[in-house]
Amino acid sequence: MQLKLDNNVSQFADEIEALSGLNLYDCYQCGKCSAGCPVSQFTQESPTRLIRLIQLNQKETVLNSKTPYLCASCSTCSERCPMEIDVAKVMETVRILASREGVKPAVKEVVNFSGAFLDSVKSNGRLFELGMTISFNLRNRTPLKDAMLGPVMLQKGKLGLFPQSIKNKEKIKNIFNNSSYFEPKEEKKEH
């Protein structure tokens, strides 16, 4: 793969640093993060390579990569890094930056799952599994996926038919409302 470098190579790394507080130029590409990553075999770029692409100002490639979305956020990479770079935080920062810039997620199912999960918690103060599953399937345009499992799980008491709310769920809503992470997204654009 040939990379085209411009005169302002550090711009994207500086942007990541401003959001995450991490200096990615401390990374000397030892590969320990990638060696310990449980999902690296499924990603486009290893964590090591993604950080190198950030260092080389390859913003479009990074923001359109599947790697940050497939990251399990287990922090194995962060724990193994001899330079103490929180690689899991880098992945989260890339996802946030992509969302803020209106880049369509490379793995929409991950974003749809997160959205369905967080909407359920915001509405009920806790997770309502049945409602979240329905919301997730609708977001993925697969409304009947796993529908045959529903009655069996209801019968065995594994799913509740109605959501259970917690006391003071307004406090949970306030957390969501006060967090900049949940700000409305800009108009989506293709890169």
Measured between alpha carbons, how far is 94 from 63 in angstroms, rounded to an integer?
Answer: 6
Q: Is 33 exposed, middle or buried (0-12, 13-18, 19+ CB in 10 A)?
A: buried
Per-residue pLDDT reduced to its tens digit, 156-187 = 988 888 888 788 888 888 888 887 655 544 44
- Output the CA–CA distances (angstroms, integers) from residue 50 to 2, 28, 61, 88, 134, in the order listed: 15, 13, 9, 12, 34
Does the pTM exceed 0.85? no
Contact 2, 55 (CB under 8 A): no
Per-residue pLDDT reduced to its tens digit, 95-133 = 999 989 999 988 899 989 988 999 999 888 889 999 999
Residue 140 DSSP symbol = T
Question: Hunting for tokens 């065995």 — which residue is that?
Answer: 156
- Output the CA–CA distances (angstroms, integers) from residue 80 to 11, 20, 103, 118, in the order listed: 27, 19, 30, 30
Measured between alpha carbons, how far is 121 from 117 in angstroms, rounded to an integer?
Answer: 6
> CATH 1.10.1060.10: which residues of the chain?
11-100
Mean pLDDT, range 131-143, rounded to an integer: 92
Measured between alpha carbons, how far is 131 from 119 in angstroms, rounded to an integer?
Answer: 10
Measured between alpha carbons, how far is 124 from 8 in angstroms, rounded to an integer?
Answer: 47
Q: Does domain 11-100 have CATH number 3.80.10.10?
A: no
